[in-house]
Amino acid sequence: MMQYVKEHGPIVAGIFADFNEFINYKDGVIRGSSCSNQEMNHNIVIVGYTTYQSLPVWIIRNSCTLIDHYPAIGVLNSHCPFIGGESWGMKGYGYIERGVNACYIGRAPTSITYS
């Protein structure tokens, strides 16, 4: 994923986000050991990667979209209003530990290319 992000830019990744450290995240790093690899239940955007306090991390953007609140198509992410947008993390951004598939971040990355 690192090479793809470097060459093509942001990618969407599903993660498991239904745990307190993610929901109440303000700063620092969400460690792989703090979240279980249960089913993916939230989408984030991986916008880059770096090292934070000697730990390799993904830089993520966490925001809720219309689809998260649109029951007409059978999708309702009930925790989305509490964990998305600029009120979450560092103005909507955060760090997740890289290299350990924390919260299933590497299980199903998705991107769109246009040519």
CATH level 2 (architecture), domain 2-104: Alpha-Beta Complex (3.90)
Report pLDDT for 2: 93
pLDDT in tens, 68-84: 444 444 444 555 555 55
Confidence tier at 37 by pLDDT (50, 70, 90) = low
For residue 95, CA distances in Å to 74, 98, 103, 108, 113 come to 30, 9, 12, 18, 25
Token digits of residue 35? 């979240």
Token digits of residue 40? 């993916």
Report pLDDT for 59: 97
Radius of gyration in angstroms for the set of CA atoms belonging to the chain, rounded to a whole number = 14
pLDDT in tens, 52-65: 999 999 999 987 64
